Amino acid sequence: MSQLSYGLETPEDILAKLTSDAGKLTRIPHSYDVFNFMVTAAVLNEWVVKYYPSHPIVAAIMQARERRDFSLLPSEAATWIPDQSCLPNRHCDVRRHIHNAMRICWETANASKHYHWQGNRIKAIEAAPIVGNWYQYFFTSREPDLYIDYEGECYGLLQLSGILLQFYTGLLGHMNAGQTSVSLSEAEPCAQPDLAHKAAQGRLP
């Protein structure tokens, strides 16, 4: 008996759909497009896990998600984001942004499925930049977009798209190339601006 399918059979197929969904996102996105992108990204994560069940990178991704610890992601993941213009704070460990982006989509999809937002770390979703403290003042984009506050870091939807499309493209390329090794590195702390210095220069509002 052949495997049941409606045309999507591999993680690459879901990545192609995610790319299509991302292409429909605008600076003022329609809620349908937001839903489709978030759910597809969450599904892609699950498909990768099921498609490569014995791969060490899959184990690392699962541990990072379950323990909410980005440092468990392999250090190679940072090299899969060559265009870092999508990162709110480029001074952070890139894996932190990858982990946050994956969790935002997973938690949003889960909340949409179960019709509640309890138990996740998404604090706000706004149609304008979320700036509630000095860190967000310096590291939140001011471009028109839908913004999500996840554990104090504010991501525009287009930033999430940039992170995830690059990450999954790099991840699947790495796995399909037959790479089985995983290397871990210490988490790098986020660098924050010297607020006192900026204040002394009159650069704070």
- Would residue 5 count as lying in a domain? no
Question: Is the pTM here over 0.75, yes or no?
Answer: yes
In a domain, 129, yes or no: yes
* pLDDT of 158 above 80: yes
Mean pLDDT is lowest, of 44-48, 188-192, 201-205, for 201-205
> Which residues is 155 bridged to in the sheet?
148
Domain assignment of residue 6, yes or no? no
How many domains, the chain? 1
Going by pLDDT thresholds of 50, 70 and 90, the confidence category of residue 54 is confident
Residues 74-81: contacts with CB within 8 Å, 24+ apart? 74/182, 74/183, 74/184, 75/183, 75/184, 75/185, 76/174, 76/182, 76/183, 77/167, 77/170, 77/171, 79/170, 80/166, 80/167, 80/169, 80/170, 80/171, 80/174, 81/163, 81/166, 81/167, 81/170
188 belongs to a structural domain? yes
User: Is the confidence at residue 199, as pLDDT, over 50?
Assistant: no
Give the dihedral of Cα atoms 183, 49, 71, 77; nearest 10 deg: 60
Question: What average pLDDT does the chain have?
Answer: 85
The rounded percent of the chain whose pLDDT value lies above 90 is: 63
Is the pLDDT at 197 greater than 70? The verdict is: no
Question: Does residue 1 fall inside a structural domain?
Answer: no
Confirm whether 27 is domain-assigned. Answer: yes
Q: Does residue 4 belong to any structural domain of this protein?
A: no
Three-class secondary structure of residue 141 per DSSP = coil
Distances (CA, A) of 56 to 38, 40, 51, 139, 143: 25, 23, 13, 33, 38
| Residue 80, domain extent | 11-200
Please report whether residue 2 resides in a domain. Answer: no
Comparing CA positions, the residue from 133, 103, 132, 135 lying closest to residue 120 is 103
Q: How far is CA 113 from CA 39, 46, 124, 201, in A?
A: 9, 15, 18, 49
